[in-house]
Amino acid sequence: MHPTLKRIIFFTSIIAFWEIGSRLELWMPIILPSPTMVLNALVTGFEDKTLIYDLVASFKRLAIGLALSLLIGSALGVLLAKSKSADETIGTVILALQAVPSIVWLPLAIMWFGMNETSVIFVVVLGGTFVMTLNMRSGIKNVHPLYIKAAQTMGSKGWDLFVRVIFPASIPHVVTGARLAWAFCWRALMAGELLSTGPGLGYTLRFASDFGDMALVIGVMIIIGVIGYIVDQLIFQRVEKTVLKRWGLES
């Protein structure tokens, strides 16, 4: 059976069981609204453009935060890979900070920048920077020495060696780092928007929760999950597979 057909059957079964259970009142609608109620909440949200404004605001913050995290992470990764002293000092701190959940940075961000756009973007940047740094470092460190020696025998060195040999050879790790950075940034964005004061999926999620609108809460959660899946599968996973095949790392 084709995987797509399996997924369709699986999710159809879940939704059918969910709807039937709601109609038979196996659980209270205030705790778990039916799929119909969730769909109505989403339709209303898109009709009054609330969710459209939320998506635009969230993607704007994500674009800024992800771009900054990729740039900063790449620069730090190169620094750690090329400098032993930096790797033994800054690298240790970055490795420790990667284990810190993004939401932990929220109180500090609010104290520094206040409850505004800057705080959310700050959290998003931190969410993706560390994982990008470690993947960039790993990619450069794991370049096969034979490639470097072969280039050096042909007179390549310094910046030319890095641009022509080291960086291209580390591209698979860079792409994986970008894919992970996107996922971490997306999670960090949702965490940051929970305490934001403007439009955004996280803000609407908190607003709906405060007013007991569980249908909208679940609807926003579904939107967050679907967007995460679509972007990962249709963009980053395809790019990663293409790069791995081109670099001869996947059959």
C-beta separation of 57 from 200 below 8 A: yes
- The string of pLDDT tens digits covering residues 194-244 is 877 778 999 999 999 988 899 999 999 999 999 999 998 888 888 888 887
User: What residue type is 81 in one-letter code?
Assistant: A
Please check whether residue 105 lies inside any domain of the structure: yes
Query: Where residue 65 falls among pLDDT bands split at 50, 70, 90?
Result: very high
In a domain, 154, yes or no: no
Q: Is residue 94 part of a domain?
A: yes
This prediction's pTM: 0.88
Burial of 85 from C-beta contacts in 10 A (0-12 / 13-18 / 19+): exposed
* Angle (deg, nearest 10), helices 171-193 and 50-82: 140
Token pair listed for 88: 């033994």
Cβ distance 199 to 54 under 8 Å? yes
Query: What is the domain extent for residue 225?
Result: 51-144+171-246
Residues 68-81 have pLDDT tens digits of: 999 999 999 999 99
CA angle 48, 51, 56 (to 5 degrees): 120
Task: Kindly tell me the burial class for residue 30, based on how many C-beta atoms sit within 10 Å of its own C-beta (0-12, 13-18, 19 or more).
Answer: exposed
pLDDT reported for residue 35: 93
Is the residue at 151 inside a domain?
A: no
| Residue at 5 is within a domain | no
Q: Is residue 71 part of a domain?
A: yes
Does some domain include residue 78? Answer: yes
In a domain, 121, yes or no: yes
pLDDT given for residue 251 in this prediction: 56
* Section 127-131 average pLDDT: 94
H runs (alpha helix) in 83-116: 84-97, 106-113
Q: Report the CATH number that the domain containing residue 242 is assigned in CATH.
A: 1.10.3720.10
How many domains is the chain built from? 1
